[in-house]
Amino acid sequence: MFATLSDRLTSTFKNLRTKGRLSEADIDATIREIRRALLDADVAVTVVRQFTGAVRERALSAEVSAALNPAQQVVKVVNEELVAILGGQTRTLAFAKQPPTVVMLAGLQGAGKTTLAGKLALWLREQGHTPLLVAADLQRPNAVTQLQVVGERAGVPVYAPHPGNQGADDVLPAGADPVAVARAGVETARQKQHDVVVVDTAGRLGVDAELMAQASDIRDAVQPDEVLFVVDAMIGQDAVTTAQAFADGVGFTGVVLSKLDGDARGGAALSIASVTGRPIMYASTGEKLTDFEVFHPDRMASRILDMGDVLTLIEQAEKAFDAEQAEKMAGKLVAGEDFTLEDFLVQMQQLKNMGSIKKMFGMLPGMGQMREALENFDEREVDRIEAIIRSMTPGERQNPKIINGSRRARIARGSGTTTSEINQLLERFDGAKKMMRQMAKGGGMPGGMPGMGNLPGMGGKKSRGRQAPQPKRGKARSGNPAKRAEQERAAAARAAAGPAAPAGSAFGLGAAPATETSELDPSSLPSGLGDLFKGR
């Protein structure tokens, strides 16, 4: 959603980083570009003025001018101000001291309240709570049925004493009383010891008196601990107007952004918290019930500025990866067992459980520069890899070296792929196996940093995190060609007259006399390398 805004801001800061010192004109030009980017993203004008004013004031202060890297300091200021207009701090549900905690959902029709009710209920269940969904939207056709289906998928019970509207018209059926259903639902939760009640209410295509009256009556009847305003993040400026109308007419304690995975400009997310004074608490990021997350202002600001969101990525990995499987894999590495295609398949399946690979890569810092490549990435690649490995025999999975041409052709037919795709997978697997072997040896990344020796943790078992001792340097060579030639002849004579190598000496090299340091004979080096030393 924030792709365009992120690209504009990143480009602005890239130009800023080319300057060693920032003048007032540089800062004004940067503020001007930020203002245009925010207005193009459909952020409310009042919010843009407030944001750019705060950034300009701080950018012209000693905070930036005295910094070692003024451009980086400006980015820091923008990041902090973005966090501020997004709400400042993370906030989740405030649970009642005496259960059940009542959560009422409000918003316009089509904002995604019913689906979000199921997502919130599933999230609460995973947190150890026992939620109950209450179907108080009796007006929208088949809204009750939809909530029942969503509740079943989430594994959460639904209280639905009335079937609601079963026709095509958006009217309240005769005898239907949403207020009575909401009140009875809370009482049922209290009797059956559900600790959280999520009340789904009706919406309208637009704000009107009837909508506000019904929402206010339900609020007065159930006395909710939290009223969450669900808003479609794709509707831009109108989201702020609607939010303000609900804040005045019903009142709400927090905002939930739905459809945050859309391709709209995202101005609603940057405006609502600042305009209404209510925090954004949750975000819906996809169609699956698991595409639901707590809204962290600092992490969202980092995503917008292309700094990534590694913390959210780690949290998703912790939920998706099986601790028992990870422990089993670690045991294999410690025991020195080889990484097999069976293990590779397990790792790919756990990666698949984390959700969209595009989203995961998008959370890494700097991935905005590779957005086009990410967009072209085929999510079905993981499915193809799984199909290829499942088409192999157990012996082939354990020992891929036995996979010859005829076996590759059979695997390709069985998986619906080509032999070139089989070859590519085996090449990737070889790379993964080498990396796992390196990790098993405690060596981390192979090779170390150029010119820095082996850093701690990169030198294998023998180094134990210490840098290898450096060889002693020989006597300095003279800059006089004649004297240097004499030194070289003397070194060659000493090497020829050296004692035989003692038993067990490394590489069969004789020990140098204790009183002198060994000299290097350039003539003994390969062509080119010897010439390099001769020129010293």
Same-domain pairing of 77 and 173? no
Q: Is 261 annotated as a binding residue?
A: yes
Same-domain pairing of 105 and 222? yes
Q: Is 50 annotated as a binding residue?
A: no
Same-domain pairing of 110 and 80? no
Q: Is 29 annotated as a binding residue?
A: no
Q: Is 200 annotated as a binding residue?
A: yes
10 confidence band (pLDDT: 50, 70, 90): confident
**Cβ-based neighbours of 12, under 8 Å, separated by 6 or more:** 30, 33, 34, 37
130 confidence band (pLDDT: 50, 70, 90): very high
**Cβ-based neighbours of 49, under 8 Å, separated by 6 or more:** none
Position 473 scores a pLDDT of 46
Q: Is 401 annotated as a binding residue?
A: no
Q: What is the pLDDT of residues 37-50, one digit of tens each?
A: 888 877 888 888 88
Q: Is 405 annotated as a binding residue?
A: no
Contact 143, 137 (CB under 8 A): yes
Domain boundary residue, one of 440, 468, 483: 440
Q: Is 202 annotated as a binding residue?
A: yes
Domain boundary residue, one of 440, 463, 494: 440
Q: Please classify residue 25 by burial: count the beta carbons closer than 10 Å to its beta carbon, then call 0-12 exposed, 13-18 middle and 19+ buried.
A: exposed
Q: Is 285 annotated as a binding residue?
A: no
Same-domain pairing of 330 and 398? yes
Q: What is the pLDDT of residues 321-348, one digit of tens each?
A: 666 666 766 666 666 666 788 888 877 7
For the cut 60, the answer to whether the pLDDT of residue 479 exceeds it is no
Same-domain pairing of 281 and 216? yes
Same-domain pairing of 198 and 325? no
Residue 386 lies in a domain: yes
Same-domain pairing of 286 and 410? no
Q: Is 93 annotated as a binding residue?
A: no
Same-domain pairing of 155 and 237? yes
Q: Is 108 annotated as a binding residue?
A: yes
For the cut 90, the answer to whether the pLDDT of residue 152 exceeds it is yes
Position 224 scores a pLDDT of 92
What one-character DSSP code corresponds to residue 305? T
380 confidence band (pLDDT: 50, 70, 90): confident
Position 382 scores a pLDDT of 80
Q: What is the pLDDT of residues 228-263, one digit of tens each?
A: 998 887 776 777 778 888 888 888 899 888 887 766
User: Based on the structure, what is the number of domains in the chain?
Assistant: 3
pTM of the full structure: 0.63
What CATH code is carried by the domain that includes residue 368? Answer: 1.10.260.30
Residue 122 lies in a domain: yes
Q: Is 113 annotated as a binding residue?
A: yes
Residue 449 lies in a domain: no
Q: Is 203 annotated as a binding residue?
A: yes
Q: What is the pLDDT of residues 25-38, one digit of tens each?
A: 888 888 888 888 88
Same-domain pairing of 80 and 180? no
Position 427 scores a pLDDT of 87
Same-domain pairing of 58 and 193? no
What CATH code is carried by the domain that includes residue 45? Answer: 1.20.120.140
Residue 347 lies in a domain: yes
Domain of 426? Answer: 321-440
**Could you tell me which residue, 346 or 135, shows the higher pLDDT?**
135
Q: ω before 100 within 30° of 0 (cis)?
A: yes
Residue 490 lies in a domain: no
Q: Is 530 annotated as a binding residue?
A: no
Q: Is 92 annotated as a binding residue?
A: no
Same-domain pairing of 124 and 199? yes
Same-domain pairing of 195 and 249? yes
Q: Is 112 annotated as a binding residue?
A: yes
β-pairing verdict for 280-284 and 131-135: unpaired
357 confidence band (pLDDT: 50, 70, 90): low
Average pLDDT, the chain: 75
Task: Report the C-alpha gap between 80 and 74 in whole angstroms.
Answer: 10
Residue 455 lies in a domain: no
Residue 294 lies in a domain: yes
